């Protein structure tokens, strides 16, 4: 599974603690993160993470591009709802793309934990079918 990990500044420590707690679940999956979040997770764990740019510098949009291509399976995005974000339009666009593509996304630790436990139980195997179907390639005209 392709999993993106994003955290606003005041949520980065919470994300590091969360990923550390579930490190065993995340092993064996392809992990992506915005710049600083990814570095902090790699510093605290043995996980390998493909790092994009920082969110305000376009990292959210880079992850959004994978979502738009239906190449992302799960996103944990610990948002700080009490702090204005200078790149709020990018955040809203990313969440909208997740809704369009049907990508499971958690924006807080409680929902993140539910998704990770479901991941551990294999409940996202349906995403494998999504990857096999490419619009236009498998369409049957009748």
Candidates 94, 1, 5, 2; CA nearest to 42 is 5
Tell me the catalytic residues: 60
d(CA 137, CA 18): 39
d(CA 107, CA 80): 9
CB 30 within 8 Å of CB 1: yes
């Amino acid at each position: 599974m392709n999993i993106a990990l994003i955290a606003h500044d005041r949520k980065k420590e919470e994300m590091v603690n969360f990923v550390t707690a579930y490190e065993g679940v995340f092993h064996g999956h392809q992990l992506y993160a915005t710049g600083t979040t990814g570095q902090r997770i790699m510093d605290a764990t043995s996980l390998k993470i493909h790092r994009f740019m920082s969110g305000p510098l376009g990292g959210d949009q880079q992850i959004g591009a994978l979502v738009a291509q239906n190449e992302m399976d799960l996103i944990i995005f610990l948002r700080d709802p009490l702090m204005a974000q200078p790149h709020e339009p990018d955040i809203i666009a990313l969440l909208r793309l997740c809704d369009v593509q049907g990508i499971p996304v958690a924006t807080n630790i409680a929902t993140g934990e539910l998704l990770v436990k479901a991941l551990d139980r294999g409940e996202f195997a349906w995403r494998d079918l999504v990857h096999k179907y490419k619009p236009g390639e498998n369409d049957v005209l009748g």
